[in-house]
Amino acid sequence: MTAYNGTVKSTRPPDRSRPHVLSIAAVNDAAMPSAVGWRRFWRTFMEIRFFNGRDDLTDAFFVRDEVFTKEQGFTIPDVDAFDAISDHMVVYIDGKPAATGRVYRDESGAFHIGRIAVLKQYRARQLGRLVMERLEVLAREQGAEKIVLGAQLYAIPFYEKCGFTGTGERFFEEFCEHETLVKTVTPFNRT
């Protein structure tokens, strides 16, 4: 096990009906490069779990409820039809859910990343970037050439740092304006 250094490599098991778990144990300060903001995680244990829409998503829904409903004030339930067809990711810090996100392929074949949420006490520690990187890898493993997401306007700079560009297409979810962002990628399965 190693500390997170900006990239995580693992292989998903061929049986996607079982959650995939990636564990990262931080052993000491030397293993936690401050350049990526991980010094605060000294002597912590991080675990990343992947679930599909048929699995128990209680922890993913907990993080989303804390961020979108309680913190940001959305009243529309955050659970939607795409949850059933999505691959979900939850990051645990010392056994507690800290961040989540999902990726799915729509009927046209486009991949969508969404519902990225990091609990307030874990922000500024690169967890959002970690979630985005892992979901992008998952989409590319499934053949993605383009990834789409809908970003709240204040979060656009974060997604731009992850390689997404704005389309100019804006829309509202409840009271909050969003913009559609896209990223062109090369699938991993292409030779």
**pLDDT tens, residue by residue, 153-162:** 999 999 999 9
The answer to whether the CB of 89 falls within 8 A of the CB of 102 is yes
CATH number at residue 64: 3.40.630.30
pLDDT tops 50 at residue 187: yes
Count of beta carbons in the 10 Å neighbourhood of residue 75: 8
Top pLDDT among 182 and 76 is at 182
Arithmetic mean of pLDDT, 96-120: 96
The answer to whether the CB of 88 falls within 8 A of the CB of 60 is yes
Confidence of residue 80 (pLDDT cuts 50, 70, 90): confident
CB burial string 138-172: b at 16+ within 10 A, e below: bbbebebeebbbbbbeeebeebeebebeeeeeeee
Helix (H, G, I), strand (E, B) or coil at 106: coil
Does a structural domain hold residue 190? no
Which residue, among 130, 141, 142, has the nearest Cα to 106 in the 3D structure?
142
Top pLDDT among 90 and 20 is at 90
Confidence of residue 24 (pLDDT cuts 50, 70, 90): low
Does a structural domain hold residue 14? no
Q: How far is Cα 136 from Cα 118, in angstroms, rounded to an integer? A: 17
pLDDT tops 90 at residue 53: no
Count of beta carbons in the 10 Å neighbourhood of residue 56: 9
Range of the domain at 170: 50-184
Does a structural domain hold residue 128? yes
Looking at residue 124, what is its pLDDT? Answer: 87
Does a structural domain hold residue 31? no
Arithmetic mean of pLDDT, 34-53: 68
pLDDT tops 90 at residue 91: yes
Looking at residue 78, what is its pLDDT? Answer: 75
Q: Which distant-in-sequence residues (6+ apart) come within 8 Å of 50 by Cβ?
A: 12, 19, 20, 21, 87, 88, 89, 138
Q: How far is Cα 170 from Cα 152, in angstroms, rounded to an integer? A: 10
Top pLDDT among 31 and 132 is at 132
**pLDDT tens, residue by residue, 135-153:** 999 999 999 999 999 999 9
Top pLDDT among 87 and 43 is at 87
pLDDT tops 70 at residue 50: yes
Does a structural domain hold residue 84? yes
Confidence of residue 69 (pLDDT cuts 50, 70, 90): very high
pLDDT tops 90 at residue 54: no
Arithmetic mean of pLDDT, 20-24: 53
Does a structural domain hold residue 42? no
Does a structural domain hold residue 151? yes
Q: Which distant-in-sequence residues (6+ apart) come within 8 Å of 91 by Cβ?
A: 46, 47, 48, 97, 98, 99, 100, 127, 130, 131
Which residue, among 95, 103, 130, 149, has the nearest Cα to 10 in the 3D structure?
130
Does a structural domain hold residue 171? yes
DSSP state at residue 32: S
State the total domains in the chain. Answer: 1
